[in-house]
Amino acid sequence: MRQQIDCAVLRLEAHRVWLEEVLLHAAPALARVRLHQLEWEAGQDLEIRTGELVTLPVHALAQAGVSLRRFDLCLVPVSLDTLAWTRQALALIPRGPFLPLVGIFQELKSAAMQDLLELGIADFVRLPLCPDEFRARVLTTVARVPRPGTLREPEAAYADSAWGTAQSKMHPHSVVNANLAVKQALKPAHPGAPALQSAFSHSMTKIKSNSVMQRHSRLAALASNLQESRAVAPGSFREAKSLLVSQFERDYITHALDKHNGNIAMAARASQKHRRAFWALMRKYDIEAQAYRPDDEQE
């Protein structure tokens, strides 16, 4: 558990009176939470909207994504007066990892709260505030969202996989290099090596009926897939299961297309899968149906 949680507070002039009372009331329960007041409406190099209740531009929160990374989460007070501005500010936040936002809602109805949750609020508390509930929600939100990883050297398994993929792309028209890469990938003892060896032998028979260029391409792709599966070293049950499922799906789709000469509709019907679902698996594993069709159909 973290020794201290850095919590940013988005302070708007419209919330100043009641927000200070709320934070003062919650202070006894925030023993390990350090609050950082963000006075963006005062002294910030931002465009100010004069004549508005909230002078802060709606894109300020989205543009501050990088500077907010030093905090663990951000408290966003919202009242009926600032609901429209908050909706616009949340809508402009780009998709992807962003600092978790916890709302402090004053006099909001259920529809407005649901809308804010869909726009990106991770959790919220309502006034009157319960300090213990507030503390629990803050700690839970921080625990759910891990901090971004630090910069480090890539793992050996990742480096081997990237090197194998690059090598296969460097020589797309070399059967000798592709065969050597496949043999090298099947050398270590691997749970899926017999199945992959069988799939490779079956595919080699079909390759002989295709042109030389197609033979080179398929051998290079197969070598890349074998290198990738070999490089993954599952460290947990979930990773091992995911690896085996991926190998099964790839082999099954390949055999189905091979059996039906690259006819996606017939292969999907024989597999009792919807054609779109079958095609999605082909796209997932970068499998081309044309490579399994006879020469006369390809021409």
Indicate whether 31 pLDDT > 60: yes
pTM, full prediction: 0.48
* Three-state DSSP state, 6: strand
Q: What integer is the mean pLDDT of 128-144?
A: 90
- State the pLDDT at residue 84: 92
- State the pLDDT at residue 85: 92
State the pLDDT confidence band at 214, using cuts at 50, 70 and 90. low
Q: What integer is the mean pLDDT of 51-73?
A: 85
- State the pLDDT at residue 111: 92
Angle, helices 110-118/83-91, rounded to nearest 10 degrees: 20
In this structure, whether the domain defined by 5-144 belongs to CATH 1.10.10.350 is answered with no
Bond preceding residue 100 cis, omega within 30 of 0: no
Greatest pairwise CA separation for the chain in angstroms: 80
Q: What is the pLDDT of residues 173-208, one digit of tens each?
A: 445 555 555 555 555 545 555 555 565 565 555 555
Strand order of the β-sheet with 101-106 is: 33-38, 5-10, 73-79, 101-106, 121-126
| Residue ranges covered by each domain of the chain | 5-144, 156-298
One-character DSSP codes across 221-264? HHHHHHHHHHH----SHHHHHHHHHHHHHHHHHHHHHHHTTT-H
Which helix (H) or strand (E) covers residue 121, if one does?
strand 121-126
Q: Give the CA-trace dihedral at 44, 46, 52, 54, to 10 degrees.
A: -60
Question: Which residue shows structure tokens 């919202």?
Answer: 78
Q: How far apart are CA 192 and CA 208, in angstroms?
A: 25
Q: How far apart are CA 190 and CA 197, in angstroms?
A: 11
